[in-house]
Amino acid sequence: MKFIEVTLDGWDTHLDNFTRVGSLCRDLDPGMSALLADLSERKLLDDTLVIWMGEFGRTPTINKDAGRDHWPRVSCALLACGGMKTGQLIGATDRLGGEATERPVQFGEVFATLYHNLGIDVSKVTVNDLSGRPQYLVDNGLQPLKEVVG
């Protein structure tokens, strides 16, 4: 199994959110679409898992510095290829993007999906901690997103 990570820093937009996100998207959008087109041309879509995400979302309101702060209650992720059922949106938020209103997804479900697609069983105990308690890759009971697994 091979892994490649591509990083585009600068999304921590506490200041001047709109200018900075516009600039970042001018770099991200053509790169992401070129990657997916290249994978398609080479017939690698089923064998390549593409993930685009951060560790949290941004506030639905603008702060005093025309920026957006950390917002853990709503975020987004793009999962593509890798044999998943793609081309869909899962979940919805209120009109401001501040609260989940339909099908909230937990990060653990996203990770369970990624592990599932890599052939890793998330229900198995990975290790027992020093107290003998079992430790899992994701919170016990979280499963892959049924909407995208084959």
Q: Are residues 110 and 45 in the same domain?
A: no
Q: Are residues 110 and 82 in the same domain?
A: no
**Residue 2: per-residue pLDDT:** 79
Q: Are residues 45 and 114 in the same domain?
A: no
Residue 37 lies in a domain: yes
Q: How is residue 5 written in tokens?
A: 């990570």
Buried b (16+ CB within 10 A) or exposed e, 88-124: eebeebeeebeeeeeeebebbbbbbbbebbeeeebee
Q: How do residues 11-62 score in pLDDT, each as one tens digit? A: 999 999 999 999 999 999 999 999 999 999 999 988 899 999 988 899 999 9
Q: Are residues 82 and 119 in the same domain?
A: no
94 vs 83 pLDDT, higher one: 94
**Residue 72: per-residue pLDDT:** 92
Q: How do residues 129-138 score in pLDDT, each as one tens digit? A: 899 888 888 9
Q: Are residues 9 and 78 in the same domain?
A: yes
Instruction: Kindly state the average pLDDT of the residues 54-83.
Output: 93
Q: What is the mean pLDDT of the chain?
A: 92
**Residue 123: per-residue pLDDT:** 84
Instruction: Kindly state the average pLDDT of the residues 65-89.
Output: 93
Q: Are residues 13 and 65 in the same domain?
A: yes
**Residue 122: per-residue pLDDT:** 86
Residue 124 lies in a domain: yes
d(CA 25, CA 8): 10
**Residue 135: per-residue pLDDT:** 86
Shortest CA distance to 40 belongs to which of 90, 88, 89, 86?
Answer: 86
**Residue 71: per-residue pLDDT:** 95
Number of domains in the chain: 2
**Residue 136: per-residue pLDDT:** 86
Would you state the torsion angle of the CA atoms of residues 27, 108, 12, 80, taken in this order, to the nearest 10 degrees?
10
Total-model pTM: 0.84
Handedness of CA 107, 52, 149, 128 (dihedral sign): negative
Residue 146: which pLDDT band, with cuts at 50, 70 and 90? very high
Domain extent, residue 140, equals: 106-150
